[in-house]
Amino acid sequence: EGSLESGRSSAEQLPAEPSPAQPVAAPPQRKSIKELPMPPGMKVEDMMSPEAAEREEGSPQVPQQQQHHQKQQLELQKHESSLTTQKAVAAMALSSTPASQAAAAASSMQVFRRPRILNKPPSDDDRFPNWGERCVDVFDIVCQIGEGTYGQVYKAKDKDTGELVALKKVRLENEKEGFPITAVREIKILRQLNHPSIVNLKEIVTDKQDALDFKKDKGAFYLVFEYMDHDLMGLLESGLVDFNEHHVASFMRQLLDGLSYCHRRNFLHRDIKCSNILMNNRGQIKLADFGLARLYSAEDKARPYTNKVITLWYRPPELLLGEERYGPAIDVWSCGCILGELFTRKPVFQANQEMAQLEAIS
């Protein structure tokens, strides 16, 4: 027992052995953004800055000299950006005035080149240049060949070309309202017609050297037509020619061709008679005198027109009965009267009043 107690006491007197050293806890490391949970629909790359992305990818460090160069470039870009902003502000200040705004709008508009027109149809200005600019003195008057609705008709020769023409005089001194409406209508219609069987209006001349002279003294205009040697009425009354069936067929074919052209252009002649049919020595027929002609509408059949047209002997029954809604048929009736006259050498239906004319027709 004594030995056990001595041993116990000696054990109590010995110093206790130190416990093994506990390891020191290291500070928690920051997790990478790729290890963090992301909300649905959000990508990791959208949350990373360029520097963080480079660290995640393990990109090599940029040398210090290259970093300095990049810094200088960034500063230069900032400086240029500030200059650009200053210029924009100055331009906005200058453009605040109305004149500058208009100039800016004009400069911003896109400019288009004018398109070229190929195969342009000839206009009236191309066919009739310098109308009314020449004086009648450029023609030599040969003789008077007839009397028109508003003046005499003369045979004349062009001094420059030697061409024979017919001058139809339009006198203004007795016109209170100016230029005669029948002459205006004839000029307007003939400018739109171009056919071998329709008389050609070449130009218009005046007897005044200066247009201002009309203020002092009313003068006259002359319609310049191609020259035709005869009219059909004069040939029939003279008895000097004898038309056979072939002549009559040729005359009527030319007359109906010209009339059909007028109707296709929606014009009614409304005064077809032998004195308005011209002919030259080669047997060519020309329809003339469009003073009563007018434009008509084939679609608008309800539109009324005057029935006081066409010389009585060539007037159709519907006009004699007072009809005011008519069309090309009235001209065809007149052509039929001329056809009969070419064979009989006198008007087919002759009367002095409308009712008597109806009786002659019936």
First and final CA of the chain: distance in angstroms? 183
CA dihedral sign, ordered 354, 332, 186, 144: negative
Q: Which residues pair with 297 in a beta bridge?
A: none
For residue 313, what is the DSSP state? G
CA distance 86 to 158: 77
Q: Which of 161, 121, 120 is nearest to 139 (CA)?
A: 161
CA distance 13 to 4: 14
- For the record, the structure tokens of 108 come out as 């911003």
For residue 138, what is the DSSP state? G
Q: Which residues pair with 268 in a beta bridge?
A: 294
Q: Are 44 and 56 in contact (CB under 8 A)?
A: no
CA distance 152 to 67: 106
Q: Which residues pair with 76 in a beta bridge?
A: none
CA distance 158 to 134: 12
- For the record, the structure tokens of 16 come out as 């206790």
Question: Is 168 marked as binding a ligand?
Answer: yes
CA distance 306 to 344: 31
Active-site residue list: 271
Q: Are 140 and 211 in contact (CB under 8 A)?
A: no
Binding-site entries for ATP: 168
- Residues of the binding site: 168
